C-alpha cells in the first residue's frame, strides 16, 4: 500500500495553525471557555504577539535576542508612567507606549544589530537585565520595587474592556500581527531577511542594506513585544519589576523554540504551550501544602529546563515533530504496518558540537 504523499499533510498542518485557527479561537473562546480562563487566554494572545516578532528576528535574520522581555517591560512601564504619572488617557497611552518602544528599539538596535552571534545574544541579555534594574532603581518614575499601581483598563465606548471583550481584542491583534508577519515572511523583504540570516560570515553580500534589514527585524520584534507589554499593563492594572525578570525573556524564547523557528505560525503552538504550562503552575500554587516560594521557583526551573531540553533534543521545534508524528501515525494506519514509525525519526547530522563542520 503506498504511503500517501507528504504534501497533503504539510498543507493540512499549515492550515491547522494558520489564521483559520486564530479566527476560531477568537470567535469561539468566549463561548467555550469558562470566564476565569478568558484572562489567561488573552495573555496567551499577547505572548503570541511577542513570539511572532521574535520568530521574525531569530528565525529569519538569525539574530539571537534574549531581550524581548526588556521591550515588553518598556511597553508596559510606558503605559504605566503615561497614565499614572502623566495623566494621559489610556486609549492614547497604549499607542504612545508602542511608539516609545519603537524609538527605544531604534536607538538600542542601531548599535546592537551591528553585533553578531554570541555577542548580540549577551548584549540583549544585558539589556533585559538593565531594564529590570532601571525599573527597580528609578523609583520616582516607576514606583521602584513597590511597583506602579492604578493603571486603568482600556475602554471601548465608555465600557472597560475585560473578560470576553479584552480577550477578543487581544486575539484580534494577534490575528492581524500573524497575518502581517506571514505576509512579510513570504514577501521580498522576508526573503531578504532570510538571506541576511543565512549569511553567517557577515560579509554583507546581500548589500549594505543587510544592516537595515537586521535593524528592521529588531525593531519589528521589539515593537510587537512592547505592544504586548502595553496591553498587559492595562489588563493587570499594576506593574512590579519582578514580573519582568529573565523568566519573561525565557518565556518568549520558549514560545518560538517550541513552535519551531521556520514559520511565524509555529509561535501559535508555542504560545499555547507556554500558557498552558504557566496556568498549570498557577493552579499548583493554589495548593496550600506548598510554601509560597516553591511555585515561582518551579516556574523558573521549568522554563530553564524546557529551553535546555528543546534545544538539546528537539532543536527543530515541536511543531515540525508534531507534523511528522501526524503523518507517521496516519501512514501507519494506512499501510497497516510499522513503516510510519520511520517518519518519526529525527533527521539531522549526528555530530558533537565541537567537531569541525566539514566538506566532503
Partner 1 sequence: MSQLLQSVFSGLALGSLFAVIGIGFVIIHRVTGVLNLAQGALAVLGAYLMSDLVGTLPWVASLLVGSAVVAVVAALIGVAVITARQTLEYSPTIMTLGIAIASQGVFVLIWGDLPHTYPPISQVAWRVAGAFVLPQQLLLLVTASVALVLLQLFFSRAYLGKALTAAALNPRSAQLVGIDLVRVGTIAFAVSGAVAGASGAIFGALVPVTPHSHLGLAVAGFAAAVLGNLYSPTATMAGGLLLGQLTSAAATYGLPEYQQVVALVVLILVLLGRTLWQRRGGVLT
Partner 2 sequence: MLQVEELVVRYGGLEALHQVSLTVADGDFVAVLGRNGAGKSTLVKAIAGVLPVASGRIIHDGDRIDGARPAQVVRHGIAVVPEGRQLFGQLNVRDNLRLGAFGVTSRGLLGMARTLLPRQRLVEARVERVLHLLPELAGLLDRPAGVLSGGEQQMVAVGRALVADPRVLVVDELSLGLAPRVVTRLLAHLATLNQEGISIVLIEQNIALALQASRSAYVLEGGVVRFRGRSADLANDDTVLSAYLGVSEAVH
User: Taking the complex as a whole, how short is the minimal distance between the CB of residue 18 and partner 2, in angstroms?
Assistant: 29
**156 or 290: CB nearest partner 1:** 290
Which does residue 360 touch among partner 2, partner 1, none (CB within 5 to 8 A, set by kind)? partner 2
**87 or 360: CB nearest partner 2:** 360
Q: Applying CB under 8 A, does 195 fall inside the site for partner 1?
A: no
Phi then psi for residue 28, to 5 deg, are -90, -20
Q: Contacts with partner 1 in 198-257 (CB under 8 A)? A: 200, 245-247, 250, 253, 257
Closest by Cα among 43, 76, 16 to 319: 16
- Candidate list 48, 64, 82, 173; residue touching partner 1; CB under 8 A: 64
User: In whole angstroms, what is the distance from residue 266 CA to residue 14 CA?
Assistant: 9
Let me know: does 240 contact 77? Beta carbons within 8 Å. Answer: no
Q: Which three cell numbers stand for residue 130?
A: 538593565
**123 or 319: CB nearest partner 1:** 123
User: Taking the complex as a whole, how short is the minimal distance between the CB of residue 97 and partner 1, in angstroms?
Assistant: 22
User: In whole angstroms, what is the distance from residue 353 CA to residue 79 CA?
Assistant: 44
- Binding mask 90-119 toward partner 1 (x if CB under 8 A, else -) reads ---------------------xx-xx-xxx
Positions in the binding site for partner 2 (CB under 8 A): 350, 355, 358, 360
**158 or 348: CB nearest partner 2:** 348
Which does residue 162 touch among partner 1, partner 2, none (CB within 5 to 8 A, set by kind)? none
User: Taking the complex as a whole, how short is the minimal distance between the CB of residue 128 and partner 2, in angstroms?
Assistant: 37
User: In whole angstroms, what is the distance from residue 108 CA to residue 127 CA?
Assistant: 9
Q: Contacts with partner 1 in 255-294 (CB under 8 A)? A: 257, 293-294
User: In whole angstroms, what is the distance from residue 139 CA to residue 156 CA?
Assistant: 32
Which does residue 345 touch among partner 1, partner 2, none (CB within 5 to 8 A, set by kind)? none
Q: Applying CB under 8 A, does 307 fall inside the site for partner 1?
A: yes
Phi then psi for residue 157, to 5 deg, are 50, 45
User: In whole angstroms, what is the distance from residue 242 CA to residue 188 CA?
Assistant: 40
User: In whole angstroms, what is the distance from residue 279 CA to residue 289 CA?
Assistant: 18
Residue 238 CB burial class (10 angstroms; 0-12, 13-18, ≥19): middle
DSSP 18: S
Which does residue 118 touch among partner 1, partner 2, none (CB within 5 to 8 A, set by kind)? partner 1
DSSP 360: -
State the Cα angle at 124 between 119 and 128, rounded to 5°: 150
DSSP 84: I
**294 or 330: CB nearest partner 1:** 294
Q: Which residues bind partner 1 (CB under 8 A)?
A: 62, 64, 66, 111-112, 114-115, 117-119, 121-123, 125-127, 129-130, 133-134, 136-137, 200, 245-247, 250, 253, 257, 293-294, 296-309, 311-312, 315-316, 348-356, 358
Amino acid at each position: 500500500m503506498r504511503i500517501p504523499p507528504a504534501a497533503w499533510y504539510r498543507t493540512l498542518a499549515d492550515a491547522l495553525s494558520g489564521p483559520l485557527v486564530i479566527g476560531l479561537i477568537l470567535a469561539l473562546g468566549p463561548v467555550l471557555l469558562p470566564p476565569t480562563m478568558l484572562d489567561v487566554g488573552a495573555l496567551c494572545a499577547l505572548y503570541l504577539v511577542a513570539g511572532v516578532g521574535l520568530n521574525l528576528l531569530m528565525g529569519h535574520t538569525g539574530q539571537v535576542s534574549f531581550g524581548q522581555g526588556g521591550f515588553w517591560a518598556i511597553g508596559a512601564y510606558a503605559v504605566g508612567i503615561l497614565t499614572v504619572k502623566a495623566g494621559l488617557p489610556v486609549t492614547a497611552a497604549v499607542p504612545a507606549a508602542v511608539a516609545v518602544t519603537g524609538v527605544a528599539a531604534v536607538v538600542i538596535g542601531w548599535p546592537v544589530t551591528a553585533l553578531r552571534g554570541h555577542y548580540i545574544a549577551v548584549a540583549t541579555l544585558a539589556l533585559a537585565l538593565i531594564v529590570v534594574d532601571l525599573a527597580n532603581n528609578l523609583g520616582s518614575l516607576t514606583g521602584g520595587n513597590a511597583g506602579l499601581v492604578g493603571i486603568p483598563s482600556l475602554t471601548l465606548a465608555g465600557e472597560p474592556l475585560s473578560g470576553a471583550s479584552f480577550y477578543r481584542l487581544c486575539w484580534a491583534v494577534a490575528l492581524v500581527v500573524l497575518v502581517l508577519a506571514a505576509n512579510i515572511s513570504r514577501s521580498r523583504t522576508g526573503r531578504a531577511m532570510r538571506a541576511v540570516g543565512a549569511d553567517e560570515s557577515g560579509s554583507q553580500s546581500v548589500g549594505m542594506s543587510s544592516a537595515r534589514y537586521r535593524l528592521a527585524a529588531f525593531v519589528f520584534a521589539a515593537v510587537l513585544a512592547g505592544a504586548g507589554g502595553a496591553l498587559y499593563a492595562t489588563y493587570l492594572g499594576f506593574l512590579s519589576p519582578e514580573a519582568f525578570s529573565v523568566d519573561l525573556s525565557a518565556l518568549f524564547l520558549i514560545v518560538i523554540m517550541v513552535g519551531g523557528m521556520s514559520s511565524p505560525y509555529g509561535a501559535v503552538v508555542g504560545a499555547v504551550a507556554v500558557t498552558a504550562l504557566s496556568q498549570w503552575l498557577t493552579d499548583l500554587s493554589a495548593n496550600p501544602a506548598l510554601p509560597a516560594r516553591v511555585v515561582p521557583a518551579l516556574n523558573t526551573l521549568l522554563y530553564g529546563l524546557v529551553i535546555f531540553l528543546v534545544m538539546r533534543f528537539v532543536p527543530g521545534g515541536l511543531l515540525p515533530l508534531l507534523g511528522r508524528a501526524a503523518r507517521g501515525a496516519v501512514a501507519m494506519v494506512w499501510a497497516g504496518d510499522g513503516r510510519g514509525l520511520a517518519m518519526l525519526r529525527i533527521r539531522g547530522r549526528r555530530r558533537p558540537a565541537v567537531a569541525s563542520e566539514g566538506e566532503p
